Structure 1
Amino acid sequence: MIGLEYILNLYNLQHIELAERLGIKKQNINMWVKGRQNIPKKYLPVLEELFGIDQTYFGRELSEIEQLEIQKEKLKRDLNPVIKKYEQQFSSGEINDLVEVPIYDQEEMNAIEREIEKAKLVSKFKTAMDIVDHNPYLETYKLMVELLEKVQHESVLHKTIEALAHYYEVLPDGVSSEPEQEGFESELFEVFDDHNY
């Protein structure tokens, strides 16, 4: 869906209403939404100001993550949330490290943040699976999904995944979820060493 169409739906704004605000004909808005005509550059800053959304979103197809980001910006404008505190969370990417994540006084904001994070994880998981056309580790991915479906609440799963992240240096040494994690990892790494892994 083109950004402008998504934003108009989200704000419950009719094409005619936007056309009146911009001082143009409704047909122009229809052409923009259907992708038959690009939004003229002179209107992009006006749209950005009107909706409080970066102008790069209006004229292109939006991903699920971008749609959630736009919902988040609308919520910020509607709720005026206050950041209660910051929480450290692991961030994967080019630099795997802990980052400060805001915790808001409005649960709707925290919920949309979690939805965005989940959508990013799903996208990264899919990308990881698509690295090779005929992925030889497809059975491993199936097992991972089974574990997540059946025992994701078990601490041994979390401890083992964190240990693997340390073992392969995906997670920095100083980042640890629990005090006893180091002991768990040293015993697990001994098993790896015993079997020449």
Structure 2
Amino acid sequence: MNGLELLVETAGINFKDVAEYLGISPKTVNDWVKGRSEIPKKHWKRLADGYGIDIELIKKKDLSNEDNLKMRLMYYQFTNEPIKTDDFVYNSNEEVIQMIQDELEIVEKIESQKNRLDATFREYWTSHKQTKEDSLDNGSYSRMIAQFVDVLESGEQSKLEGLKHVIYFLSNLYSIEEDRWEEINPFLNGVSEREFYRELNALLKKYKNGKLKEEE
């Protein structure tokens, strides 16, 4: 999907609306979308100003997921129209904007680590010849990362749910005393995951530097 197509989808309009706004024929807009002709520079600024979107995003021919989120965020922050999908109208634009901002933050974090992870994978595949059954080499996280990806690619719901809760615990609760967990997540008390986190916390406390402590 290119930038103009996503703009139309995000704004809930059609190409005829774009044509009318720019004072041109629908066929001209269709030619832009199909790549049969380029959008003249004089129209870029009008599209950007009219819909609150960065010009460079509208000009893109192939948008990434990050680009998709950025365009939606820009438009929703710009418009006063209620945000709605085919079957749902949100209570407030702020609700949707916050959801997109949270998702965009995650995507940007992943992207910022992409080169480092790519290098780690290259190191693993070029320097290590283990099979899937081999254990993780001491001092190297390459095997662990590969196993992590294996779980993600497996599509097995039970594994994915377990991984999600372990990552949440390590990211948010591990270094916090249990009686302060509700400060991090006010909804934690009373949910089934609370017992899982409690047992995981107790288990991890038995470990130090990756080795099980000797029982006294």
TM-score, normalised to structure 2, is 0.54
Q: Is the 8 A contact 1:52 1:73 kept in 2?
A: yes
Match of 1:10 in 2: 10
Distance (Å, rounded) in 2 between the aligned partners of 1:112 and 1:156:
21
Say how many residue pairs are matched. 141
Identity between Structure 1 and Structure 2 (%) = 26
Query: Aligned with 2:168: secondary structure?
Result: coil
Higher strand proportion, which one? 1
Query: Which shifted more, 114-123 or 41-50?
Result: 114-123
Q: Which has the larger radius of gyration?
A: 2
Per the TM alignment, residue 148 of structure 1 is displaced from its structure 2 partner at its CA by: 4.8
Q: Which runs of 5+ in 2 are unaligned?
A: 82-92, 125-140, 152-161, 176-208, 210-216
Amino acid at match of 2:24: I
Amino acid at match of 1:54: D
Distance (Å, rounded) in 2 between the aligned partners of 1:156 and 1:111:
20
Distance (Å, rounded) in 2 between the aligned partners of 1:156 and 1:50:
41
Distance (Å, rounded) in 2 between the aligned partners of 1:156 and 1:6:
34
Q: Is the 8 A contact 2:120 2:142 kept in 1?
A: no
Higher relative contact order (CA 8 A, sep 6+): 1
* Superposed counterparts of 1:55-94, under 5 Å: 55-60=55-60, 61-78=62-79
Match of 1:151 in 2: 166
Match of 1:25 in 2: 25
| Closer/same/farther in 2, CA of residues 16 and 106 from structure 1, 3 Å limit | closer
Higher helix proportion, which one? 2
Q: Is the 8 A contact 1:129 1:135 kept in 2?
A: no
TM-score, normalised to structure 1, is 0.59
Per the TM alignment, residue 125 of structure 1 is displaced from its structure 2 partner at its CA by: 4.0
Measured on the aligned residues, the alpha-carbon RMSD in Å equals: 3.3
Query: Aligned with 1:135: secondary structure?
Result: helix
